Amino acid sequence: MASTDQRWLPFAACSGASTVALALAVTAGAATRSWSGNPNSNAASNITHPPSTTRPLDHAAARSGSAFRTPSHCASLVPPPAESLPMPITLTVFEDSPDRGRGLARDMQVRWALEELGLAYAVRGVSFATMKGAEHLARQPFGQIPAFEEDGLTLFESGAIVLHLAERHPGLLPADPHARARALAWMFAAVSTIEPPIVEWAMARMLERDADWFAARQPMLEERVRTRLAQLAARLGERDWLEGGFTAADLLMISVLRRLERAPMLPEQPRLVAYIARGEARPAFQRAFAAQRALFEARARAND
Ligand code: GTB
């Protein structure tokens, strides 16, 4: 039974097609994929599998509802036999993200990794209420996003999902075993050494502003972040990336640092400001950002 507030998120319909073409998937490098599926269903198994096309997704067009409408692309929506393709990747995200489309929720790191690797994916949006229900708890035991599903595998924890993808597809981890081990260390550093003080600082600002202790506690929280930023900047030095070329470690680290976009501590470390900008300039980041933004804006329009 499909729940009413957990539904596939349609971006566009292919005019003239007999089925509604749900642009559930976003981009796969230069390729755009769409599925024809039952819009009333939230079951991944009810989605037929994606034909690959060579047209890049135009996010502006997707936002305006005009994507996927050209005759040549509509023709490409005829699905191949379902049994001939693996299940598409499905990412569960906020239906209505509290970050207001700033790409700060943790589905962003997974979207970014998928884009770097050129993997198409479908998106399932869930409300805060649905996230706490049994169906989503089976995907994510803490009732949070993101959750990842592919071919019978369900995974939670954004870092673990990125690692899973990086291990299975070339492009986000070095081949050299030592370099790979160091990249893994930086991935763990991002989520277990750098992120906790940043989240503590951010959560205090979000939830404790009116508390008696807020002003007294804030300098200490800022100082903890400041210390980690200085240490990270010292190690990064003049390098562009943490371990040779761009890796999953940079993807996670930059994602974590982006939470500081309005923090006074970040401009004190110009190397990190430049590091974040380098990551954000990557085409894969921009596609991922545009996709989550389009979702937020579509939802905002629907709420108007
Ligand atoms: N360790 C887990 C992971 O990395 O996957 C943490 C997952 C997590 O914290 N998910 C958050 C969530 O589902 C969303 S990303 N929260 C709902 C809940 O717990 O009920 C964190 C987040 C939320 C909001 C903003 N924002 O508004 O800027 C930024 C980041």
Six-digit token pair at 231? 């240490």
Of all residues in the chain, what percent carry a pLDDT higher than 70? 71
Average pLDDT over residues 18-34: 32
Whether residues 163 and 205 fall in one domain: no
| Number of separate domains in the chain | 2
What pTM was estimated for this model as a whole?
0.79
Six-digit token pair at 272? 């990190």
The atom number, within ligand 1, closest to the CA of 99 reads 27
Whether residues 198 and 134 fall in one domain: no
Residue nearest to atom 5 of ligand 1 (CA): 157
Instruction: Give pLDDT, residue 79.
Output: 45
Whether residues 51 and 188 fall in one domain: no
Contacts of 270 (CB under 8 A, 6+ apart): none
Structure confidence at residue 173 as a pLDDT band (50, 70, 90): very high
Instruction: Give pLDDT, residue 233.
Output: 98
Question: Comparing 138 with 18, which gets the higher pLDDT?
Answer: 138
CA distance 32 to 70: 13
Instruction: Give pLDDT, residue 230.
Output: 98
The atom number, within ligand 1, closest to the CA of 128 reads 20
Structure confidence at residue 58 as a pLDDT band (50, 70, 90): very low
Contacts of 240 (CB under 8 A, 6+ apart): 246, 275, 278
Q: What is the mean pLDDT of the chain?
A: 79
Residue 179 in this model has a pLDDT that exceeds 50: yes
For the chain, the three-class secondary structure string (H helix, E strand, C coil) is CCCCCEEECCCCCCCCCCCCEECCECEECCEEECEEECCCCCCHHHECCCCECCCCCCHHHHHHCCCCCCHHHHHCCCCCCHHHCCCCEEEEEECCCCCCCCCCCCHHHHHHHHHHHCCCEEEEEECHHHHCCHHHHCCCCCCCCCEEEECCEEEECHHHHHHHHHHHCCCCCCCCHHHHHHHHHHHHHHHHHHHHHHHHHHHHHHHCCCCCCHHHHHHHHHHHHHHHHHHHHHHHCCCCCCCCCCCHHHHHHHHHHHHHCCCCCHHHCHHHHHHHHHHHCCHHHHHHHHHHHHHHHHHHHHHC
Structure confidence at residue 81 as a pLDDT band (50, 70, 90): low
Residue 185 Cα to ligand 1 midpoint, Å, equals: 22
Give residue-wise pLDDT tens across range 185-241.
999 999 999 999 999 999 999 999 999 999 999 999 999 999 999 999 999 999 999
Q: Does 280 reside within a domain?
A: no
Instruction: Give pLDDT, residue 88.
Output: 87
Residue 164 Cα to ligand 1 midpoint, Å, equals: 19
Reference 80, options 43, 17, 35, 27; nearest CA is: 35
Instruction: Give pLDDT, residue 20.
Output: 23
Residue nearest to atom 3 of ligand 1 (CA): 157
Whether residues 31 and 166 fall in one domain: yes
Q: Does 277 reside within a domain?
A: no
Question: Cis before residue 51, ω within 30 degrees of 0?
Answer: no
Residue 77 Cα to ligand 1 midpoint, Å, equals: 34
Average pLDDT over residues 280-289: 98
Which CATH number is 125's domain given? 3.40.30.10
Whether residues 132 and 18 fall in one domain: yes
Report the residue among 132, 144, 191 best suited for mutation to probe ligand 1: largest number of ligand atoms under 8 A from its CB. 144
**Pocket lining for ligand 1, CB < 6 angstroms:** 98-99, 104-106, 131, 143-146, 157-159
Q: Does 59 reside within a domain?
A: yes
Q: Does 279 reside within a domain?
A: no
Number of other CB atoms surrounding residue 237 within 10 Å = 7
Number of other CB atoms surrounding residue 301 within 10 Å = 10
Residue 22 in this model has a pLDDT that exceeds 80: no
Which CATH number is 202's domain given? 1.20.1050.10
Domain that holds residue 200: 177-268
Q: Check if the beta carbon of residue 121 is closer than 8 Å to that of residue 8.
A: no
Of all residues in the chain, what percent carry a pLDDT higher than 90? 70
Instruction: Give pLDDT, residue 87.
Output: 65
Six-digit token pair at 163? 């690692």
Whether residues 163 and 183 fall in one domain: no
Whether residues 183 and 155 fall in one domain: no
The atom number, within ligand 1, closest to the CA of 106 reads 15
Average pLDDT over residues 231-256: 98
Whether residues 161 and 191 fall in one domain: no
Residue 145 Cα to ligand 1 midpoint, Å, equals: 6
Question: Comparing 81 with 184, which gets the higher pLDDT?
Answer: 184
Whether residues 35 and 119 fall in one domain: yes
Contacts of 288 (CB under 8 A, 6+ apart): 26, 103, 108, 111, 112, 114, 115
Residue 147 Cα to ligand 1 midpoint, Å, equals: 11
Whether residues 148 and 183 fall in one domain: no
Report the residue among 93, 106, 198 best suited for mutation to probe ligand 1: largest number of ligand atoms under 8 A from its CB. 106
Residue 17 Cα to ligand 1 midpoint, Å, equals: 38
The atom number, within ligand 1, closest to the CA of 146 reads 5
Residue 107 Cα to ligand 1 midpoint, Å, equals: 9
Whether residues 14 and 140 fall in one domain: yes
